Structure 1
Amino acid sequence: MRPVDDSVSALAVRAKARRLKLMAFDVDGILTDGRLYYGADGEALKAFHTLDGHGLKMLAGAGIAVALITGRRSEMVLRRAGELNIQHVIQGREDKGAALGALAAELGLQADVCGYAGDDLPDVDALQWAALGFSVPNAHRCAREAADLITESRGGEGAVREICDFILDTRGARPL
């Protein structure tokens, strides 16, 4: 994982990560590779990486609330969230910064304990609102520039696990 701005100290970023109580993720382009697959009957299919799923479970197990915020509506997202016991799923929202802020308020949290991972223009407000923003190398430039950290892994290819491992590592919970 690398910082977007070299002037930001690694210690400051790690301190922010250590304080997180809520970590929210975009779906398409972060939990998936961003491609949309359509079946013959018009159903939309998404591919999720098992490494990411386990990372999300470990994050929740460490007491960090996990949320998914996506601009699309998809039964596949609800199914995956159910498999991972993710309680906070917000779908059909392009105003992701407002959605993240509303969820944080509902949970009694301020921005300084919230993180967000996103990859495109609808994610920029959330990346800027959160105390710590993550993006992926295959994200649109606007999201990469708004983030604090860029993963080594691409979206849908273990980037979420990398984020989870980083956060857990700041708390001394070294993932295996």
Structure 2
Amino acid sequence: MTDSGSCSIPGGQYPSDCEITEGLRQRAMSRQGQEERGYAWRACLPKAKEIQLLLLDVDGVLTDGTIVYGNGETELKGFNIKDGFGITLLREAGVEVGIITARRSEAVARRAQDLKLAHVYQGVRNKIEAFSEILAAQNLTPQQIAYMGDDWLDLPLLSRVGLAATVADAAVEVREIAHYVTRQAGGRGAVREVCELIIEAKGMRAELFARYLR
């Protein structure tokens, strides 16, 4: 990225594109430094730095938990665009993302395809089996995997991963064992929050932000 000292054009009446871009970057970085993330965020940075794969539950995490039945066997779900962009950013930072969910839905399959998710496990009641399969196939350790769930079915997996995350409106038992509880509720940007935690831990935030100013 060109530094602000090389942006100026002598005698120019208006700021150059380079100056505008650098100004935006500097203000964004300044706000980042001023933002109070809280003790839990800071405490989780060392764990988040090791993460190579983020696995997600769907209902109550990527969605707000609402299920709408259409005609026949059609099942409709709503996904948050901020979560989707957070996943895109995390993949750009070199961290893969996958889904392990107990339910099965065409809407989930389509969303996973849109986001180019690396691992998609639907209709899985025993999430540990899927987790073990992923560990073996990807040659990863539990400490290199983060999982985000919201209810009792997620407890066994949350207790095994390097970074256990949950949403603000998760079951109390899940919030009690999670390393990180988001400020946002499920389906309302909670996944984006965890993606940003991992990105910041890896020192990639400024680089990713700069790419979107070009």
**TM-score where L is the length of structure 1:** 0.91
1:152 aligns with 2:186: no
Give the secondary-structure state (helix, strand or coil) at the position aligned to 1:134: strand
- Matched ranges for 1:67-146 at <5 A: 67-146=98-177
Distance 2:136 2:89 in 1: 24
**Partner residue, 2:195:** 164
Report which of the two structures shows the higher radius of gyration computed on alpha carbons: 2
Range that drifts further, 130-139 or 32-41: 32-41
**Partner residue, 1:27:** 58
Partner AA of 1:152 in structure 2: R
Shift in Å, 1:96:
1.6
Distance 2:73 2:54 in 1: 32
Shift in Å, 1:2:
6.1
Give the secondary-structure state (helix, strand or coil) at the position aligned to 1:80: helix
CA contact (8 A) 1:97 1:123 kept: no
Distance 1:29 1:2 in 2: 24
- Cα deviation digits, residues 36-59 of structure 1 (max 9, x gap): 111143411000000000111111
* Distance verdict in 2 for CA 1:14–1:173, change over 3 Å: same
Distance 2:47 2:132 in 1: 17
User: Which consecutive residues of structure 2, in runs of 5 or more, have no partner in the other structure?
Assistant: 1-36, 210-214
* Distance verdict in 2 for CA 1:44–1:3, change over 3 Å: farther
Distance 2:90 2:113 in 1: 16
**Partner residue, 1:48:** 79
Choose between structure 1 and 2 for higher RCO, CA contacts under 8 A separated by at least 6 residues. 1
Distance 1:145 1:162 in 2: 19
Q: Percent identity?
A: 39
CA contact (8 A) 1:15 1:170 kept: yes
Give the secondary-structure state (helix, strand or coil) at the position aligned to 2:97: strand
Partner AA of 1:106 in structure 2: A
Give the secondary-structure state (helix, strand or coil) at the position aligned to 1:89: strand
Distance 2:39 2:73 in 1: 40
Distance 2:152 2:129 in 1: 14
**TM-score where L is the length of structure 2:** 0.75
RMSD across aligned positions (CA): 1.7
Distance 2:134 2:73 in 1: 32
User: Which consecutive residues of structure 1, in runs of 5 or more, have no partner in the other structure?
Assistant: none
Partner AA of 1:84 in structure 2: L
**Partner residue, 1:10:** 42
Distance 2:124 2:88 in 1: 24
Distance 2:49 2:109 in 1: 28
